[in-house]
Amino acid sequence: MKAAKIPIILSLLLVFVFMSSEGSAQAQGQGGLFGTIKAVANLPIGGVKIIESDKGTFFVSENGRFAWKGPLYDMWNGKKVATIEDANTVVNHIDLKKIGVDPDRMATLTMGQGDKLEVIFVSTDCPHCQKLLEQAVKLTDKYTFKIVLIPMGPKSLQHTKLLLTAKDKDAAVKALVSGDYKGLTDDNCDLKPLQVTMVAARILGLRGVPYMIRDDGQVEAHGVKDLGAWLERKSEKASQALDIKPGDQSTTPIP
């Protein structure tokens, strides 16, 4: 009985190691419970990943202990998730209106006058958000950005309050992009938009910032090298992580 369990345990360990890299991956000849693993992708379900193999589609918990056969059903989009392609085209799309999430009810600054509406969740203490906003500033003629502020720590909360209570919202946007909050004053900040923001973040399953929702509903849960290209759907390469040090990540985790 014990000997029969070893191949399964080894297979799960191999999958766990295999899944530790970001995004999808390729592998051959893993054998065991899943057969030959063809691809792996992340899902926004508490570390759950989807695996495609020659034995079908599996869903595996973050530590590799639990696995089950698909499909899953995305209740927000009303569609089945049974393949890696589904994970990319269905799961990574969110219709904010459909699920009742309104950026204007949250801790939000507006930047730009373009026809297309883009939503970006950021924090004042996030260097990756800073790089993304520096790109967004150059695109304000074509796009309108709803910048949703998520405080991450006491200093970030103080800066967020300054931005929300600023009478000159253009000055507040400039302060957020530059990181210079001198001249802004905290004048009885209404905390309700911040509370709505944190509830929305939980609903959306945010684990870090930046977190972007494009006008067509496409989600990107980290920074991008070329924001303009990503917004215009020009290239998949545009969604690759920002240029950062090896071993770092393109998101700042939410505490």
- Contact predicate 47/32, CB 8 Å: no
pTM for this model (two decimals) = 0.75
> To 10 degrees, what angle do helices 127-136 and 169-178 make?
130
pLDDT at 9: 45
160 pLDDT higher than 60 = yes
Q: Whole-angstrom Cα distance, residue 16 to residue 48?
A: 11
pLDDT at 253: 64
Alpha helix ranges (H) inside 38-141: 84-86, 127-136
Write down the mean pLDDT value for the chain. Answer: 80
5 pLDDT higher than 90 = no
Same domain, 70 and 161: no
Q: For residue 135, what pLDDT band results from cuts at 50, 70 and 90?
A: very high
Domain final residue, candidates 91, 113, 145? 91
Same domain, 117 and 221: yes
Query: Taking residues 153-161, what's their average pLDDT?
Result: 92
Query: Structural domain of residue 65, as residue ranges?
Result: 2-91
pLDDT at 245: 39
Query: Taking residues 78-102, what's their average pLDDT?
Result: 86
Same domain, 78 and 112: no
Domain final residue, candidates 91, 117, 146? 91
95 pLDDT higher than 50 = yes
In a domain, 96, yes or no: no
- Contact predicate 135/228, CB 8 Å: yes
Q: Quickly tell me which residue has 């405080």 as its tokens.
A: 151
pLDDT at 133: 95
More confident: 77 or 255: 77
Of the ranges 134-148, 199-213, 214-228, which is most confident?
134-148
Q: For residue 105, what pLDDT band results from cuts at 50, 70 and 90?
A: very high
Q: Whole-angstrom Cα distance, residue 21 to residue 41?
A: 10
Strands of the sheet containing 116-122, edge to edge, are 108-111, 143-149, 116-122, 211-213, 219-220
Same domain, 60 and 152: no
What's the Rg (C-alpha) of the chain?
21
Structural domain count of the chain = 2
Query: Taking residues 112-116, what's their average pLDDT?
Result: 93
DSSP-assigned letter for residue 214: -
More confident: 25 or 204: 204
Reported as a single tens digit per residue, the pLDDT across 27-46 is: 333 446 777 888 888 787 77
Q: For residue 238, what pLDDT band results from cuts at 50, 70 and 90?
A: low
Q: For residue 255, what pLDDT band results from cuts at 50, 70 and 90?
A: low
